[in-house]
Structure 1
Amino acid sequence: MQNVVLGYSVDPEFDRKAADRFVRLMLSIDDNDPDNLAKASVVSASMVGDSEAEIEMANRAVALNPNSWATWNSRGWVRIIYAGLPEEAIRSFGRAARMSPLDPRLHTTLIDQSSSLKYLKFTERSGTGPRFPSRFRAFLVGQDI
Structure 2
Amino acid sequence: MPKIITNLLDGITLQQEKLKFQKWNYGAYYGSYETSILAEIYNYKKEIDKLFEIVRGSVDLLQKYESLLLPNYASEYLKVYKNRIDRLIAARGRKNYQTAVPYVKKVKQIYTEMLQKPSDWKAYIAHLRTSNKCLPALQDELSRM
Q: Higher helix share goes to which structure?
A: 2
Larger radius of gyration: 2
The reply to whether TM is greater than 0.5 is no
- Which gives a bigger RCO, structure 1 or 2 (Cα 8 Å, sep 6+)? 1
TM category (shorter chain) comes to 0.3 to 0.5
